[in-house]
Amino acid sequence: MTMRFAKLAAACAACLISTSALAANAMVLRVAHAMPESHSYQKWVEAFRADLDKLAPGRIEVKVFPSAQLGTETEYLEGMKLGTLDGAVVGRHGQVDPRLDVLNLPMIFRDEAHKDAVMRSGSALNQQLDQIMYDKGYKVLGWGELGFRDITTREKPVRKASDLAGIDIRVPNVEPWLYAFKQWGANPTPMDFSEVYSALQQGVINAQENPPEIIYTSKFYEVQKYMNLTNHASIPCEFIVSRRFWEKLPADLQDAVMKAATSSRDAQVRLSRESNAGLISQLSEKGMTIVQDVDRDSFREGAKKTYAKYGDVIGTPLIQAVVDAR
């Protein structure tokens, strides 16, 4: 008994030493995002960490920094270039390369299957988008989703593009979007997201646009009456690591990282879609009038003018490739 106990103790000690050695030698992957811990960004990175730990136990320690602890998304991109940060979940692809504004164009996506075909199918187009990012110094682990964006208004519903005439609406500071909303007759106003609620409350603007999850969590139902299901755009997000971090990984770890990234990406997309679908009815319960009979075709003329306007910057063949993706 004493001998068996001694052997067991020795085996346990060896295991502990081995585990400690693995932990000591583990690479550290520092990942930042600007959303709160309740957001799908956090769940995405946590799922990635859990999956990676199963595939390559003790080899990469994933440290997550949510809630803008490490600054803005622009600063994340700079940090990855400088080597002070390894990865991030962001939505700044157009900032990385203007060609990637193709994913931000209004009315570019028909439906969810279309988005999957463009960004999650492994197609030549998908690889082209990934390569643009890689050439700029970032490895795409996965293109995520925040959902189709809808317009909310205070004074009147929007059933067709012309209903936007004269409406002061907050939009992200993305050039193609500013141009598109002007084509639809609106007065687009770029504004930091943190200022949107108070601007709506005070009447500085009387409309905004976002996916249902953001409309709900930001309590825009308190200062907006109509939720118009325009589905006019769907800006994706992306989980990226720096090229320098990626290239120092051995081949087997690259394989493990991509497997974990793919499974966690799929979970994030599924969660986002389920959440957005369920929140429409909850926004109705909060008192919003849900306008479903939107003539989406009425937005296409302005969208096509936007494609023509930015064809030289983005590349007309790339725009057409996204439009034609199946």
Of 17-26, 67-76, 248-257, give the lowest mean pLDDT range.
17-26
Distance CA(9)–CA(284), nearest Å, equals 63
Distance CA(210)–CA(34), nearest Å, equals 17
pLDDT band at 39 (very low <50, low <70, confident <90, very high): confident
> Taking the alpha carbons of 274, 212, 32, 117 in that order, is the dihedral positive or negative?
positive
State whether residue 210 is helix, strand or coil: strand
pLDDT at residue 13 above 80? no
pLDDT at residue 20 above 80? no
* Domain 26-146+235-276: CATH class, spelled out: alpha beta
| Per-chain mean pLDDT for the chain | 92
Distance (Å) of CA 194 to CA 17, 198, 200, 218: 49, 9, 12, 10
What number of CA atoms fall less than 13 Å from residue 200's CA on the CB side? 26
CB 209 within 8 A of CB 197: no
> Taking the alpha carbons of 149, 155, 160, 163 in that order, is the dihedral positive or negative?
negative
- Res 173: pLDDT: 84
Q: Would you list the domain boundaries of the chain? A: 26-146+235-276, 149-234+282-324
Residue 304 structure tokens: 């096509």
Q: Is 111 exposed, middle or buried (0-12, 13-18, 19+ CB in 10 A)?
A: exposed
Residue 106 structure tokens: 């209004």
Q: Is 15 exposed, middle or buried (0-12, 13-18, 19+ CB in 10 A)?
A: exposed
Distance CA(87)–CA(65), nearest Å, equals 10
Q: Give the percent of the chain with pLDDT over 90.
A: 85
Q: Which CATH number fits domain 149-234+282-324: 3.40.190.170, 3.40.1350.10, 3.30.565.10, 1.10.10.10?
A: 3.40.190.170
Residue count of the chain: 326
How confident is the model over 58-91, as pLDDT tens digits? Answer: 999 999 999 889 998 999 999 999 999 999 999 9
Picking from 160, 108, 110, 151, the residue whose alpha carbon sits closest to that of residue 303 is 108
- Res 194: pLDDT: 79
Q: Bridge partners of 153?
A: 207, 226
- One-letter amino acid at 40 equals S
Q: Which pTM was predicted? A: 0.88
pLDDT band at 4 (very low <50, low <70, confident <90, very high): very low
How confident is the model over 130-178, as pLDDT tens digits? Answer: 999 999 999 999 999 999 999 999 999 999 999 999 999 999 888 899 9
CB 105 within 8 A of CB 176: yes
pLDDT band at 17 (very low <50, low <70, confident <90, very high): very low
Other Cβ atoms closer than 10 A to 307 = 21
